[in-house]
Amino acid sequence: MASSRNRCAYCDDSRGADVDHFTPIAYDYKRTFLWENHLWSCPECNRRKATRFPVESGQPTLVDPVREDWWRFLSLDTASGVMAPAFSPAGEESKRGRDTLDVFSALTFEAVIEGRHRAITELRKAAADAVTNGNTRATRASLGKAVAHDEYGVASWFALGPGKDEPPFRDLRTGEAGLWRRYVRMTVAREHGASASTPVT
């Protein structure tokens, strides 16, 4: 219900205390007892979403954080930890990203941004050390520790999203292929509950 971190599936900042129906019962009662429709949520996000479930052409415009990749619709400023809607190559703002941030305003709270930035800083340091020192037991441990400490899901921004082209992750990807694959596998395992042996292409 809350990935592997046992936190709110929406904001990642608070411990989950409520079980939220991603698709509300009032909108589609047939999904009431479906396991994949139950998300562990903090009270703040659950209250914000209670009566807000925007739909367009029969499809919800909120991003389901468990079943979808947030980074298709949201962008991360890694210098500050601020999230914003993603933009298409044509310069159009993602409506799904905007609706998600509007409903789950906790994603823009100062404390959440600061926590996200701490995770970014630790991941960057571990990746930079790996680029400098190569694939050693110490660098593998440091990278694994940084992924394990990431309570905000930003490791996937660097492993699977646009952040893979930012230094030092770009340098890790191009210079230490084995360690890069290990980092991606660890991230996938942590974020999506997959096996750490998942093949990486």
pLDDT digits (tens, 9 = 90+) for 109-151: 999 999 999 999 999 999 999 999 999 999 999 999 999 999 8
Task: Let me know how many helices (H) and strands (E) the chain has, helices first.
Answer: 7, 6
Q: Structural domain boundaries of the chain?
A: 18-108, 113-192
Nearest Cα neighbor of 155 from 182, 129, 133 is 182
Integer CA distances (angstroms), 105 to 10, 70, 96, 116, 131, in order: 10, 15, 14, 15, 36
Where helices occur in 37-136 by DSSP H, the ranges are 43-49, 95-103, 110-133
Residue 90: per-residue pLDDT = 94
At 72-103, the pLDDT tens digits run 999 999 999 999 999 999 999 999 999 999 99
Q: Which amino acid is located at 123 in the chain?
A: L
| pLDDT value at residue 40 | 87
> For 12-24, how does the pLDDT look when each residue is reduced to its tens digit (9 = 90+)?
876 677 889 899 9
Average pLDDT, the chain: 89
C-alpha to C-alpha distance for 167 and 27, rounded to whole angstroms: 44
Tokens of 85: 């809607």
